[in-house]
Structure 1
Amino acid sequence: MRFSERIGRLQQILPDPTKPIVVTIQERNRSLDQNRKLWACLGDVSRQVEWHGRWLDAESWKCVFTAALKQQDVVPNLAGNGFVVIGQSTSRMRVNEFAELLELIQAFGTERGVKWSDEARLALVNRPGNPGD
């Protein structure tokens, strides 16, 4: 359905004061396929890259990469014995932001000699803007 057809359908909706609606027009969030590809890449990095003397799990790497991409901040935790990264959830990232995240992971991993799994290689080749999309 074309954009103009969608607008036409929206205009046909009659407002009901007892059931207010909100229509938001925005770029779509990352897809489930993109999310699957993210975890393939993070898994490869977590198995092959030691970070400042530690082996991080995929979830921790996601925090590291997201913080780097979004220039996030850290604050002390409630107990005062550590820190928490304040930042954006990847599920709220737009398609293009998510593609930037995958690109960052690829550059980081490639610089450190990560051998990409088949699924991660596909994710890195099929980013928005790359041939084959």
Structure 2
Amino acid sequence: MTEFALRHPADITRLIGFLHSTSLETPKVIVIKDEKRPDVMNRKMWAMLRDIANQVEWYGQKLSDEDWKHVFSASVEKQRAVPGLDGGFVVLGQSTRKQSAKWFSDLFEVMSAFGAEHGVRWTQTDRWGGRY
């Protein structure tokens, strides 16, 4: 399997050259999809979740970083909750592992707005030099 990352116009030219030299003796499948999140997005997400977990009490409870991840990803996805087998509710969710950079951008917007509404002080500086 051959993969190409398309980030610049020159990458498209390189891909076209590769396609012209590809044998079609056996059928080929070409898939174009958004790149999964860069590692910097993962680090930013966990730093923001840690700040929220340390500073916000939610309906009388302190939630873990992981709990907050579920709360925010459910918000971005507009997910449903169903009654659990033994009481409570279960959010029908998705893993953040397979989400795109665009999805993470939406997640950061929701987290930033929530943080502003709840007085969260961000402890990490993002890679562009500002606070989260």
- Taking structure 1 as the reference length, the TM-score comes to 0.79
Q: Secondary structure at the match of 2:16?
A: helix
Map 1:26-65 → 2, pairs under 5 A: 26-65=33-72
Q: 2:82 and 2:31 mapped to 1: Cα distance?
A: 32
Structure with larger RCO (C-alpha < 8 A, sep 6+)? 1
Consecutive unaligned residues of structure 1, counting only runs of 5 or more, are: 128-133
Corresponding letter in the other structure for 1:12: S
Match of 1:9 in 2: 18
**1:84-117 superposed Cα distances (whole Å, 9 cap, x missing partner):** 2112221221111101101111110121111111
Map 1:1-133 → 2, pairs under 5 A: 1-15=10-24, 17=26, 22-77=29-84, 79-118=85-124, 121-122=125-126, 125=130
Change (3 A) 1:59 1:16: farther
Change (3 A) 1:55 1:16: farther
Q: Secondary structure at the match of 2:37?
A: coil
Consecutive unaligned residues of structure 2, counting only runs of 5 or more, are: 1-9
Corresponding letter in the other structure for 1:4: T
Higher helix share: 1
Change (3 A) 1:5 1:12: same
Runs of 4+ in 1 over 4 A off after TM superposition: 123-127
